[in-house]
Structure 1
Amino acid sequence: MTKPHDTAFSSFLKDFAENVGKFHKAANVLAGIRNEDIDVGATPKTLVLRRDKVELFRYEPTAEHTVGTPVLIIYGLIGRYTIADLQSDRSLVRGLLAAGIDLWLIDWGRPGRGERWLTMDDYVDDYIHEAVQRICRATGHDKVTLLGICEGGVFTTCYAALHPEKVKNLVLTVTPIDFHADIDDPSADHGLLNIWTRSLAPEDIDRMVDTLGVIPGEFMGSIFSLMTPMRSLTKYNVDLIDTVGDKDKLMKFLRMEKWLADRPDHPGAAGRQWLKELYQENRLVEGRFALSGRIVDLRAIDVPVLNIFALGDHIIPPTCSKALGGKIGSTDYTEVPLLVGHVGLFVSSKSPGKLTKIIAEWLQARDG
């Protein structure tokens, strides 16, 4: 008679053999894929301006313009803009171009110790301002629409408040405004990054910045991985093996991993402001955040504002983004919550088309 433990062991051997076969298959498939095959941020664009390591690009149009004012995409310093252009069928960039948007982009490049002294003042009042002026000269417009993503949304918000004469519309996606709004959020998992950042001793932040000159990209990458530990543990030995038989899924997986691994260092002085003055001291929403000697007054933003945030966001809690509505001077304020995560807003199989449609229709209604 077969004993139960014999049956269990036989089942284990069978599963083990199947998994070994999958690993061999995965290894063979991956061996045939080159780095250049995993193309992220591949939508054609033209370099218009380079200053230091910062570059301004204009995307090549793919449709007749339906919106007059040019749109400038601004991503943060913590990651790379390529998440908005991950692959052809999951690309906010391609979707907006197809909708007839004149699209521009700032690429911050790869800051190192040489950029250790750059502050948010430099990025907002210097690099962004110069890019806006260049776009205006090139297009004949006196204003631009700003499309900010995550930390880049904070930059664009500050710019709109300090330079309202240069901004036609403001579009924000997964942008933190009230960095302490998560304290009263009933979903504790939404604010893990905020809780961790607030728990840092200010002097430890100073030590890291003074010693390294930057906040290392690898360090921030490890923090984000620790926020979803089970996902981080299983994606290479479960998710990858399960997708290796589907080339489309495999390439999406590899592009995501390429984007995650491509995390530049964050300039030290700007990082000090980001962590201490915003995350810890919450100066922006309290009207105490200053750039270039001027207070960033959110009430000075009186242009149309579209604020899109993710309800499943574990990096920027929805409450931190929603806070913007009651603080600005504009009466034309639109708030759109989407049932996705922070990254899923741009790469989910359902989200890119929806996100593109929301932004394009909103802009066309105000600037068609």
Structure 2
Amino acid sequence: MAWDIWTRNPFAWPLLTMEIWRRTLEAAAFPPPAESAGPEWCTPNRLVLELDALRLWDFSMSDAGAPALIVGPYALHDAQLADLAPGHSVVEALRQNGCERLYLADWKSATPETRMVGIDAQLAALNVAVDEIGGPVDLIGPCQGGWFSLIYAARFPHKVRRIVLAGAPIDLKAACSALSEPVEKTTNHVIDRLIESGGGIVRGEQMAPLWPREDCEERRLIDSLQLEPPFLSSAEEAAVAAFQRWDKRVVDLPGPYYREVFCRLFRENLLARGAFPALGKTANICALDKPLFVLVGAHDTIAPPGQALAGADLVAGAVETAIAPCGHLALFMGRRTIANEWPRIASWLAEA
């Protein structure tokens, strides 16, 4: 991958940091794109709750069993990464393997009305969603939804039964990643400029340069979907088209939320230190005694195994782990990973 040089050569990090922030701030000169349509789910569902911060979708097949809630990442892209296309859907795999009560929290893009909210406001919104479902719930956190799920569970342990983390950065000091090193070298002044340039909102188009990606679009499709070209079948063509639409749909973030994630999670590593502030208390994951399942990608440079597995060692509850031979996006979209790893997770969630 063209950007892997940055994870192998620490002397290149300062140059990378300057370059990505130059491109990011230059993007602010362009007007924000018109609001795009939301996720295009491939699994039947219904909208059960809409708040300023999120939409709660019900993918349940029955009222049997403990409810499971997928907490979508609030980052560059929307939560369709969990239900992209048939054969490339965490939702589908969970439903087919025993998770009959399944919900998904899909975060909304920031607006002028919500541009001033931070992590506490998002936690409060998730708390309303959990109460709407009725708990205790099993939390499933892909990517950035993983660390957020851990914070929520540490803050409201009586509302959570089990937790699944997939490709989630937890202990940011345990290993270098394609995100953590540039963040450490970025000044607060640069962050302030980024937020001010968007009128209090960090635009998805501005964030895009921060996320490493392959220069070759075909390689990105192969790695993420675990398909082989020429993608001739109708199912493969549909999956590729769904991925490309998802990839182009970016999410805007409130400035305070972005700054808090930048500083508290990536720079200060407060989650791993058991000192993350959450709704008036400290969310200490070191005291969290809930069963935890950690899925990591052996080749994940966004949330490398070192960050995820070191974080798993911090919690007090029983931990089960799985390492899939893939990169980051394939953890949620890859055909082989969906078929091989997520049925095991569904079985683990079904345990009493």
* TM-score interval, normalised by the smaller of the two chains: 0.7 to 0.9
Find out whether 1:301 has 2:300 as its counterpart: no
Aligned to 2:86: 88
Picking from 293, 308, 313, the partner of 1:321 is: 308
For 2:98 and 2:244, the matched residues in 1 are separated by: 30
Task: Write the distance in 2 (CA, Å) between the matches of 1:278 and 1:286.
Answer: 10
How far 1:108 sits from its partner (Å)? 1.2
1:261 Cα deviation (Å)? 0.7
1:219 Cα offset (Å):
2.2
**1:62-109 superposed Cα distances (whole Å, 9 cap, x missing partner):** x794xx210001011112111111111221101111223110111112
Q: Which amino acid aligns with 1:314?
A: T
8 A contact 2:88–2:239 mirrored in 1: no
**Residue 352 (structure 2) pairs with residue 352 (structure 1):** no
What is the identity, as a one-letter code, of the residue corresponding to 2:183? T
Q: Which residue of structure 2 lines up, in the alignment, with residue 230 of structure 1?
A: 215
**AA matched with 1:251:** A
Q: 2:102: which partner in 1?
A: 103
- Aligned partner letter, 2:68: V
Residue 73 in structure 1 maps to residue 70 in structure 2: yes
* Alignment correspondent of 2:190: 204
Deviation at 1:153, TM superposition (A): 0.8
Higher RCO, Cα 8 Å, sep 6+: 2
Partner residue of 2:111? 112
Alignment of 1:275-294 (within 5 A): 275-294=262-281
> 1:167 Cα deviation (Å)?
0.6
1:240-283 deviation line (CA, Å, top 9, x unaligned): xx637554433322211111111111221111011122111212
Whether the aligned pair in 1 keeps the contact of 2:47 and 2:58 (CA below 8 Å) is yes
CA distance in 2 between partners of 1:128 and 1:64 (Å):
21
Aligned residue in 2 for 1:343: 329
**Using the alignment, how far apart are the partners of 1:235 and 1:355 within structure 2?**
21
**Structure 1 residues 98 and 229: CA distance shift in structure 2, 3 A:** closer
1:221/1:311 Cα in 2 relative to 1: closer, same or farther (>3 Å)? Answer: same
Describe the SS at the equivalent of 1:113: coil
Q: Is the 8 A contact 1:164 1:300 kept in 2?
A: no
Aligned to 1:9: none
One-letter code aligned to 1:263 = V
**DSSP-derived class of the 1:323 partner:** helix
Which residue does 1:157 correspond to in 2?
150
Segment of structure 1 superposing worse, 158-167 or 274-283? 274-283
| Separation in 2, partners of 1:338, 1:234 | 18
CA distance in 2 between counterparts of 1:244 and 1:128 reads 38
Q: Deviations over 1:171-219 (max 9, x none)?
A: 1111111112224xxxxxxx22221121211221122223421221112
CA pair 233-167 structure 1, distance change in 2 beyond 3 A: closer
CA contact (8 A) 1:72 1:144 kept: yes
SS of residue matched to 1:222: helix
What is the distance in 1 between the residues matched to 2:301 and 2:196?
29
Instruction: Name the TM-score, length of structure 1 as normaliser.
Output: 0.78
The one of 260, 283, 299 equivalent to 1:273 is 260
CA deviation map 1:148-187 (0-9, x unaligned)? 111111111001101111111111111111112224xxxx
Q: Does 1:143 align with 2:136?
A: yes
Alpha-carbon contact 1:64-1:100 (below 8 Å) kept: no
Taking structure 1 as reference, are residues 232 and 196 closer, same or farther at Cα in structure 2, changes over 3 Å only? farther
Deviates more, 1:172-181 or 1:213-222: 213-222
State the identity %. Answer: 27
Pairing 1:128–2:134 present:
no
CA RMSD after TM alignment: 2.4
Alpha-carbon distance in structure 2 between the residues aligned to 1:64 and 1:155: 26
1:28-43 correspondence runs (5 A): 40-43=40-43
More helix, by proportion: 1
Q: State the secondary structure of the residue aligned to 2:191.
A: helix
- Separation in 2, partners of 1:71, 1:233: 34
Residue type of the partner of 1:81? A
* 2:10 alignment counterpart: none
Counterpart of 2:90, as a letter, is L
Give the secondary-structure state (helix, strand or coil) at the position aligned to 1:357: helix
| 1:229 to partner: Cα distance | 4.3
Distance 1:361 1:244, change over 3 A: closer
In 2, Cα distance between equivalents of 1:259 and 1:273: 26
Q: Is the 8 A contact 2:58 2:103 kept in 1?
A: yes
Relative to structure 1, the CA distance from residue 361 to residue 271 in structure 2 (aligned partners, 3 Å threshold; closer, same or farther) is same
Counterpart selection for 2:248 from 247, 261, 282: 261
